[in-house]
Amino acid sequence: MSKFLSLIFICITFQSIASEAQAAKQQKDERIQMMIVAKATGMCDALSQIITFQQTHKMPGSDQFVIRFLNDEAARLNKSLDDYMAQCAAVSEQYHRYMNELGFR
């Protein structure tokens, strides 16, 4: 009987350790996802500021610069320009959800 109880204790201990390891991995994955979203949101905000600046100041030749820059960034990420710009809306939305979850907004 004592061996049986020891075996049950060992099984429960291993299951508990495995469960804790899985929870820790999930938390790490969630934190990494938050960091990726925050970085992408910052990039999108910077691009938005560039576009707003150009719309406001109408600097000669800058429209072509902005368009080329956006196309190059999209290509660098292996995305179409439409997908790249849609990504900005999606990450911004996710960023605000994270901020709400963390109690910042």
pLDDT in tens, the chain (105 residues): 566 555 455 545 555 555 555 655 566 678 888 888 888 888 888 888 888 888 888 888 888 888 888 888 889 889 888 888 888 888 898 989 989 988 886
The confidence score (pLDDT) of residue 28 equals 64
| Token digits of residue 70 | 């956006």
Residue 96 structure tokens: 């605000």
Nearest Cα residue to 95 out of 27, 30, 45, 34: 34
pTM of the model: 0.64
Cα(49)–Cα(32) distance, integer angstroms: 26
